[in-house]
Amino acid sequence: MSAQPAVGVASTDLPIFENAQAWYGPEMAARIDWVHRLTEAEIAEIEAVVRAADATGKDILELRRADFPLPGLQPLLDEVRKQVLHGRGFHLLRGIPVERFTIRQSAIAYWGLGLHLGEPVSQNGKGHVLGHVTNLGLNYADPEVRGYQTSARLNYHTDSSDIVALLCLRTAKAGGLSSIVSSTTIWNELVRRRPDHARTLLGEFHRTRWGEIPENKKGYGSNPIFAPYKGRMFASYVRSAIMKAQAMPEVPRLSAEQIEALDHVDALAADPTLHLDMSFEPGDIQLLSNHFVFHSRTAYEDWPEVEKRRHLLRLWLACDDGPELPPSMVSRLGVTARGRPNGICVPGVPFVAPLVAA
Protein backbone atom coordinates (compact mmCIF):
# COMPACT_ATOMS: atom_id res chain seq x y z
CA MET A 1 0.00 0.00 0.00
CA SER A 2 1.19 3.52 -0.72
CA ALA A 3 2.42 5.84 1.98
CA GLN A 4 -0.01 8.01 3.91
CA PRO A 5 -1.19 10.75 1.50
CA ALA A 6 -0.52 14.40 2.19
CA VAL A 7 -3.52 16.48 3.19
CA GLY A 8 -3.41 20.25 3.16
CA VAL A 9 -5.85 22.63 4.81
CA ALA A 10 -7.66 25.26 2.76
CA SER A 11 -8.46 28.65 4.27
CA THR A 12 -12.08 27.52 4.59
CA ASP A 13 -11.00 24.69 6.97
CA LEU A 14 -12.03 22.10 4.36
CA PRO A 15 -9.17 19.74 3.42
CA ILE A 16 -7.19 19.91 0.18
CA PHE A 17 -5.72 16.54 -0.87
CA GLU A 18 -2.22 16.60 -2.35
CA ASN A 19 -1.74 12.97 -3.27
CA ALA A 20 -1.38 10.64 -6.25
CA GLN A 21 -5.15 10.68 -6.85
CA ALA A 22 -5.13 14.48 -7.42
CA TRP A 23 -4.10 14.91 -11.07
CA TYR A 24 -5.05 17.09 -14.03
CA GLY A 25 -5.90 15.73 -17.49
CA PRO A 26 -3.48 17.80 -19.61
CA GLU A 27 -0.61 16.77 -17.35
CA MET A 28 -1.52 13.10 -17.76
CA ALA A 29 -1.98 13.48 -21.53
CA ALA A 30 1.69 14.52 -21.71
CA ARG A 31 2.79 11.33 -19.91
CA ILE A 32 2.96 7.73 -21.08
CA ASP A 33 3.52 5.91 -17.77
CA TRP A 34 -0.20 5.04 -17.52
CA VAL A 35 -0.19 3.19 -20.87
CA HIS A 36 1.41 -0.20 -21.44
CA ARG A 37 1.45 -1.83 -24.86
CA LEU A 38 1.89 -5.56 -24.45
CA THR A 39 5.10 -7.00 -25.87
CA GLU A 40 5.14 -9.96 -28.26
CA ALA A 41 6.28 -12.20 -25.40
CA GLU A 42 3.45 -11.00 -23.15
CA ILE A 43 0.88 -11.54 -25.89
CA ALA A 44 2.25 -15.02 -26.56
CA GLU A 45 1.91 -15.87 -22.85
CA ILE A 46 -1.71 -14.69 -22.84
CA GLU A 47 -2.56 -16.56 -26.05
CA ALA A 48 -1.13 -19.85 -24.77
CA VAL A 49 -3.08 -19.65 -21.51
CA VAL A 50 -6.30 -18.63 -23.30
CA ARG A 51 -6.16 -21.48 -25.80
CA ALA A 52 -5.47 -23.98 -23.02
CA ALA A 53 -8.40 -22.66 -20.95
CA ASP A 54 -10.68 -22.62 -24.00
CA ALA A 55 -9.82 -26.24 -24.78
CA THR A 56 -11.11 -27.37 -21.36
CA GLY A 57 -14.66 -26.49 -22.45
CA LYS A 58 -15.36 -24.99 -19.03
CA ASP A 59 -17.88 -22.22 -18.63
CA ILE A 60 -16.13 -18.93 -17.95
CA LEU A 61 -17.56 -18.89 -14.42
CA GLU A 62 -15.79 -22.18 -13.70
CA LEU A 63 -12.36 -20.79 -14.57
CA ARG A 64 -10.19 -19.76 -11.64
CA ARG A 65 -6.98 -17.78 -11.30
CA ALA A 66 -5.05 -21.06 -11.18
CA ASP A 67 -6.24 -21.70 -14.75
CA PHE A 68 -4.34 -18.56 -15.86
CA PRO A 69 -0.69 -18.86 -14.83
CA LEU A 70 1.01 -15.69 -16.09
CA PRO A 71 4.48 -15.59 -14.49
CA GLY A 72 5.89 -13.25 -17.11
CA LEU A 73 3.03 -10.76 -16.75
CA GLN A 74 2.66 -10.97 -12.98
CA PRO A 75 5.01 -8.08 -12.09
CA LEU A 76 3.18 -5.81 -14.56
CA LEU A 77 -0.26 -6.82 -13.23
CA ASP A 78 0.87 -6.24 -9.64
CA GLU A 79 2.05 -2.73 -10.52
CA VAL A 80 -1.15 -1.97 -12.45
CA ARG A 81 -3.27 -3.06 -9.47
CA LYS A 82 -1.19 -0.89 -7.13
CA GLN A 83 -1.53 2.19 -9.35
CA VAL A 84 -5.28 1.76 -9.88
CA LEU A 85 -6.14 1.05 -6.24
CA HIS A 86 -3.65 3.28 -4.41
CA GLY A 87 -2.04 5.56 -6.98
CA ARG A 88 -3.43 7.73 -9.79
CA GLY A 89 -6.49 5.47 -10.14
CA PHE A 90 -6.26 4.38 -13.79
CA HIS A 91 -4.23 2.44 -16.35
CA LEU A 92 -4.53 1.40 -19.99
CA LEU A 93 -3.28 -1.92 -21.35
CA ARG A 94 -3.05 -2.25 -25.13
CA GLY A 95 -2.63 -5.21 -27.45
CA ILE A 96 -4.99 -8.04 -26.47
CA PRO A 97 -5.21 -9.87 -29.83
CA VAL A 98 -9.00 -9.79 -30.10
CA GLU A 99 -8.75 -9.91 -33.89
CA ARG A 100 -7.39 -13.46 -33.59
CA PHE A 101 -9.81 -14.58 -30.89
CA THR A 102 -13.37 -15.79 -30.93
CA ILE A 103 -15.74 -13.91 -28.61
CA ARG A 104 -15.33 -16.74 -26.09
CA GLN A 105 -11.54 -16.54 -26.28
CA SER A 106 -11.57 -12.76 -25.87
CA ALA A 107 -13.84 -13.18 -22.84
CA ILE A 108 -11.54 -15.87 -21.40
CA ALA A 109 -8.47 -13.63 -21.85
CA TYR A 110 -10.26 -10.74 -20.18
CA TRP A 111 -11.65 -12.88 -17.37
CA GLY A 112 -8.26 -14.42 -16.66
CA LEU A 113 -6.50 -11.07 -16.49
CA GLY A 114 -9.32 -9.77 -14.30
CA LEU A 115 -8.81 -12.62 -11.83
CA HIS A 116 -5.22 -11.44 -11.35
CA LEU A 117 -6.56 -8.03 -10.32
CA GLY A 118 -9.64 -8.86 -8.23
CA GLU A 119 -12.88 -10.81 -7.87
CA PRO A 120 -15.59 -10.22 -10.52
CA VAL A 121 -18.92 -9.09 -9.02
CA SER A 122 -22.39 -8.67 -10.50
CA GLN A 123 -23.02 -5.56 -12.57
CA ASN A 124 -26.84 -5.66 -12.78
CA GLY A 125 -30.00 -7.36 -11.57
CA LYS A 126 -29.46 -10.22 -14.03
CA GLY A 127 -26.33 -11.37 -12.23
CA HIS A 128 -23.97 -10.54 -15.10
CA VAL A 129 -20.37 -10.76 -13.91
CA LEU A 130 -19.23 -10.36 -17.51
CA GLY A 131 -20.94 -7.30 -18.94
CA HIS A 132 -21.50 -6.10 -22.49
CA VAL A 133 -21.42 -2.37 -23.19
CA THR A 134 -23.28 -1.98 -26.47
CA ASN A 135 -26.36 -0.25 -27.82
CA LEU A 136 -29.45 -2.43 -27.29
CA GLY A 137 -31.76 0.24 -28.72
CA LEU A 138 -33.22 1.12 -25.33
CA ASN A 139 -34.38 4.54 -24.14
CA TYR A 140 -32.11 6.10 -21.52
CA ALA A 141 -35.03 8.21 -20.29
CA ASP A 142 -36.66 5.02 -18.94
CA PRO A 143 -36.06 4.93 -15.14
CA GLU A 144 -34.92 1.29 -15.31
CA VAL A 145 -32.58 1.62 -18.32
CA ARG A 146 -28.85 1.96 -17.66
CA GLY A 147 -26.70 4.12 -19.91
CA TYR A 148 -24.39 1.33 -21.09
CA GLN A 149 -27.38 -0.24 -22.90
CA THR A 150 -27.72 2.82 -25.16
CA SER A 151 -25.60 4.97 -27.50
CA ALA A 152 -26.33 8.10 -25.47
CA ARG A 153 -23.76 10.35 -23.89
CA LEU A 154 -23.00 9.28 -20.34
CA ASN A 155 -22.39 11.88 -17.66
CA TYR A 156 -19.36 11.45 -15.42
CA HIS A 157 -20.09 8.79 -12.81
CA THR A 158 -18.77 5.90 -10.73
CA ASP A 159 -19.81 2.24 -10.48
CA SER A 160 -20.40 -0.07 -7.50
CA SER A 161 -17.05 -1.86 -7.27
CA ASP A 162 -13.39 -1.18 -6.51
CA ILE A 163 -12.35 -1.32 -10.17
CA VAL A 164 -14.30 -1.01 -13.41
CA ALA A 165 -12.53 -2.46 -16.45
CA LEU A 166 -13.44 -2.27 -20.15
CA LEU A 167 -12.08 -4.41 -23.00
CA CYS A 168 -12.65 -2.92 -26.45
CA LEU A 169 -13.69 -5.47 -29.06
CA ARG A 170 -14.95 -3.02 -31.68
CA THR A 171 -15.23 0.77 -31.93
CA ALA A 172 -18.15 2.89 -33.15
CA LYS A 173 -18.38 4.50 -36.58
CA ALA A 174 -18.00 7.88 -34.84
CA GLY A 175 -17.91 9.12 -31.25
CA GLY A 176 -17.79 7.02 -28.10
CA LEU A 177 -14.74 8.81 -26.70
CA SER A 178 -13.81 7.83 -23.15
CA SER A 179 -13.16 10.63 -20.64
CA ILE A 180 -11.95 10.35 -17.06
CA VAL A 181 -11.38 12.91 -14.35
CA SER A 182 -9.87 12.82 -10.88
CA SER A 183 -12.69 13.14 -8.37
CA THR A 184 -10.08 14.25 -5.83
CA THR A 185 -9.11 17.14 -8.11
CA ILE A 186 -12.78 18.07 -8.49
CA TRP A 187 -13.07 18.19 -4.70
CA ASN A 188 -9.96 20.35 -4.40
CA GLU A 189 -11.31 22.77 -7.01
CA LEU A 190 -14.67 22.95 -5.25
CA VAL A 191 -12.95 23.86 -2.00
CA ARG A 192 -10.95 26.58 -3.74
CA ARG A 193 -13.82 28.01 -5.78
CA ARG A 194 -17.04 27.29 -3.91
CA PRO A 195 -16.54 25.85 -0.42
CA ASP A 196 -20.30 26.09 0.16
CA HIS A 197 -20.80 23.57 -2.66
CA ALA A 198 -18.10 21.33 -1.19
CA ARG A 199 -19.90 21.28 2.17
CA THR A 200 -23.23 20.50 0.50
CA LEU A 201 -21.69 17.50 -1.28
CA LEU A 202 -20.55 16.05 2.05
CA GLY A 203 -24.24 15.56 2.85
CA GLU A 204 -26.52 12.70 1.88
CA PHE A 205 -27.84 12.19 -1.66
CA HIS A 206 -30.35 9.52 -2.72
CA ARG A 207 -30.01 7.29 -5.81
CA THR A 208 -32.44 4.91 -7.47
CA ARG A 209 -31.34 1.29 -7.65
CA TRP A 210 -32.86 0.96 -11.16
CA GLY A 211 -35.22 -1.76 -9.86
CA GLU A 212 -32.15 -3.90 -8.99
CA ILE A 213 -32.67 -4.18 -5.24
CA PRO A 214 -30.32 -6.21 -3.01
CA GLU A 215 -31.60 -8.17 -0.04
CA ASN A 216 -32.84 -6.01 2.86
CA LYS A 217 -32.29 -2.78 0.89
CA LYS A 218 -34.69 -0.05 -0.21
CA GLY A 219 -35.43 0.86 -3.81
CA TYR A 220 -32.91 3.65 -3.43
CA GLY A 221 -29.54 4.02 -1.74
CA SER A 222 -28.07 7.02 0.07
CA ASN A 223 -24.56 8.32 0.53
CA PRO A 224 -22.57 11.57 0.25
CA ILE A 225 -20.92 12.41 -3.08
CA PHE A 226 -17.63 13.02 -1.26
CA ALA A 227 -16.45 11.25 1.88
CA PRO A 228 -13.02 12.05 3.40
CA TYR A 229 -11.58 9.00 5.12
CA LYS A 230 -8.12 8.11 6.43
CA GLY A 231 -6.23 10.67 4.38
CA ARG A 232 -8.05 10.21 1.08
CA MET A 233 -11.14 11.73 -0.52
CA PHE A 234 -13.52 8.99 -1.66
CA ALA A 235 -16.25 9.81 -4.15
CA SER A 236 -19.42 8.06 -5.35
CA TYR A 237 -21.51 9.76 -8.02
CA VAL A 238 -24.23 8.88 -10.54
CA ARG A 239 -26.18 12.04 -11.41
CA SER A 240 -28.73 10.17 -13.56
CA ALA A 241 -29.56 7.85 -10.65
CA ILE A 242 -29.96 10.82 -8.32
CA MET A 243 -32.33 12.58 -10.72
CA LYS A 244 -34.37 9.45 -11.51
CA ALA A 245 -34.78 8.82 -7.78
CA GLN A 246 -36.72 12.10 -7.63
CA ALA A 247 -39.62 10.27 -9.31
CA MET A 248 -39.89 8.04 -6.22
CA PRO A 249 -42.38 9.55 -3.74
CA GLU A 250 -40.48 8.25 -0.71
CA VAL A 251 -37.24 10.04 -1.72
CA PRO A 252 -36.67 13.55 -0.26
CA ARG A 253 -36.68 16.37 -2.81
CA LEU A 254 -33.35 17.88 -3.83
CA SER A 255 -32.80 21.38 -2.54
CA ALA A 256 -31.76 24.26 -4.78
CA GLU A 257 -28.37 24.20 -3.06
CA GLN A 258 -27.90 20.50 -3.82
CA ILE A 259 -28.81 20.93 -7.49
CA GLU A 260 -26.43 23.87 -7.81
CA ALA A 261 -23.63 21.85 -6.21
CA LEU A 262 -24.24 18.89 -8.55
CA ASP A 263 -24.21 21.25 -11.53
CA HIS A 264 -20.83 22.53 -10.36
CA VAL A 265 -19.45 18.98 -10.17
CA ASP A 266 -20.60 18.31 -13.75
CA ALA A 267 -19.14 21.60 -14.98
CA LEU A 268 -15.76 20.86 -13.39
CA ALA A 269 -15.70 17.33 -14.82
CA ALA A 270 -16.40 18.70 -18.31
CA ASP A 271 -13.60 21.28 -18.01
CA PRO A 272 -10.79 20.30 -20.43
CA THR A 273 -8.22 21.64 -17.96
CA LEU A 274 -9.30 18.88 -15.56
CA HIS A 275 -10.30 15.78 -17.50
CA LEU A 276 -8.38 13.34 -19.70
CA ASP A 277 -9.81 12.08 -23.01
CA MET A 278 -8.80 8.80 -24.61
CA SER A 279 -9.94 6.85 -27.64
CA PHE A 280 -10.02 3.07 -27.56
CA GLU A 281 -8.43 0.67 -29.99
CA PRO A 282 -9.61 -2.94 -30.34
CA GLY A 283 -7.67 -4.91 -27.73
CA ASP A 284 -7.45 -2.07 -25.19
CA ILE A 285 -8.25 -2.70 -21.53
CA GLN A 286 -9.02 0.42 -19.48
CA LEU A 287 -8.88 0.01 -15.69
CA LEU A 288 -10.32 2.65 -13.36
CA SER A 289 -10.76 3.12 -9.62
CA ASN A 290 -14.38 3.86 -8.77
CA HIS A 291 -13.27 5.59 -5.57
CA PHE A 292 -11.00 8.25 -7.07
CA VAL A 293 -12.00 8.59 -10.75
CA PHE A 294 -15.21 9.66 -12.51
CA HIS A 295 -15.69 8.26 -16.01
CA SER A 296 -17.77 9.35 -18.97
CA ARG A 297 -18.43 8.61 -22.64
CA THR A 298 -19.52 10.78 -25.53
CA ALA A 299 -22.56 9.79 -27.60
CA TYR A 300 -21.73 7.66 -30.62
CA GLU A 301 -22.94 6.74 -34.09
CA ASP A 302 -22.85 3.02 -34.73
CA TRP A 303 -22.24 1.04 -37.88
CA PRO A 304 -25.37 -0.19 -39.70
CA GLU A 305 -23.95 -3.72 -39.83
CA VAL A 306 -24.62 -5.57 -36.57
CA GLU A 307 -21.33 -7.45 -36.71
CA LYS A 308 -19.35 -4.17 -36.84
CA ARG A 309 -21.09 -2.29 -34.03
CA ARG A 310 -19.32 -0.86 -30.99
CA HIS A 311 -18.83 -3.54 -28.38
CA LEU A 312 -16.96 -3.49 -25.09
CA LEU A 313 -16.74 -6.18 -22.44
CA ARG A 314 -16.90 -4.98 -18.84
CA LEU A 315 -15.77 -6.29 -15.46
CA TRP A 316 -16.50 -4.91 -12.01
CA LEU A 317 -13.81 -6.11 -9.65
CA ALA A 318 -13.71 -6.33 -5.85
CA CYS A 319 -10.12 -6.17 -4.61
CA ASP A 320 -9.01 -7.54 -1.26
CA ASP A 321 -6.08 -5.10 -1.19
CA GLY A 322 -8.22 -2.09 -2.05
CA PRO A 323 -8.34 1.00 0.18
CA GLU A 324 -10.37 0.83 3.37
CA LEU A 325 -13.77 2.35 2.59
CA PRO A 326 -15.75 5.02 4.45
CA PRO A 327 -18.64 3.52 6.46
CA SER A 328 -21.16 5.62 4.48
CA MET A 329 -20.10 3.86 1.29
CA VAL A 330 -20.14 0.39 2.77
CA SER A 331 -23.71 0.82 4.03
CA ARG A 332 -25.01 1.73 0.56
CA LEU A 333 -22.99 -0.72 -1.49
CA GLY A 334 -23.02 -3.88 0.54
CA VAL A 335 -19.80 -5.89 0.66
CA THR A 336 -18.33 -9.28 -0.19
CA ALA A 337 -17.44 -11.79 2.51
CA ARG A 338 -14.04 -10.07 2.68
CA GLY A 339 -15.46 -6.58 3.04
CA ARG A 340 -15.17 -5.23 -0.52
CA PRO A 341 -17.94 -3.62 -2.66
CA ASN A 342 -20.03 -6.45 -4.08
CA GLY A 343 -21.70 -4.83 -7.07
CA ILE A 344 -25.42 -5.46 -7.55
CA CYS A 345 -26.62 -8.69 -5.92
CA VAL A 346 -30.34 -9.40 -6.22
CA PRO A 347 -31.76 -12.26 -4.08
CA GLY A 348 -32.29 -15.48 -6.00
CA VAL A 349 -30.35 -14.33 -9.08
CA PRO A 350 -27.36 -16.56 -9.90
CA PHE A 351 -24.17 -15.20 -11.45
CA VAL A 352 -23.77 -15.65 -15.21
CA ALA A 353 -21.09 -14.71 -17.74
CA PRO A 354 -22.99 -14.35 -21.03
CA LEU A 355 -21.13 -14.24 -24.34
CA VAL A 356 -23.85 -12.18 -26.02
CA ALA A 357 -25.33 -8.85 -24.97
CA ALA A 358 -28.72 -9.01 -23.27
Can you spell out the DSSP letters for 29-95? HT--TTEEEPPHHHHHHHHHHHHHHHHTT--GGG--GGG---TTTHHHHHHHHHHHHHSSSEEEEE-
Q: How confident is the model at residue 175, as a pLDDT? A: 66
155, amino acid identity: N
Q: CA 303 to CA 98: how far, in whole Å?
A: 19
Q: CA 255 to CA 237: how far, in whole Å?
A: 17
Backbone angles phi, psi at 299, to 5 degrees: -60, 160
Q: How confident is the model at residue 304, as a pLDDT? A: 78
CB 16, CB 10: distance < 8 Å: yes
Query: Any idea how long the chain is?
Result: 358
Q: CA 100 to CA 190: how far, in whole Å?
A: 47
Half-sphere exposure of 339 (CA within 13 A, CB side): 8
The pTM score is 0.91
pLDDT in tens, 267-323: 999 999 999 999 999 999 999 999 999 999 877 667 677 777 788 999 999 999 999
CB 177, CB 277: distance < 8 Å: yes
Angle at 278 between CA 272 and CA 283, to 5 degrees: 170
Instruction: Classify 157 as helix, strand or coil.
Output: strand
Q: How confident is the model at residue 1, as a pLDDT? A: 40
Q: How confident is the model at residue 134, as a pLDDT? A: 78
Q: Residue 273 carries which DSSP code?
A: T
List domains and CATH numbers for the chain. Answer: 6-333 (3.60.130.10)
pLDDT in tens, 163-191: 999 999 998 776 677 999 999 999 999 99
pLDDT-flagged residues of the chain (< 50)? 1-5, 139
Backbone angles phi, psi at 266, to 5 degrees: -65, -40
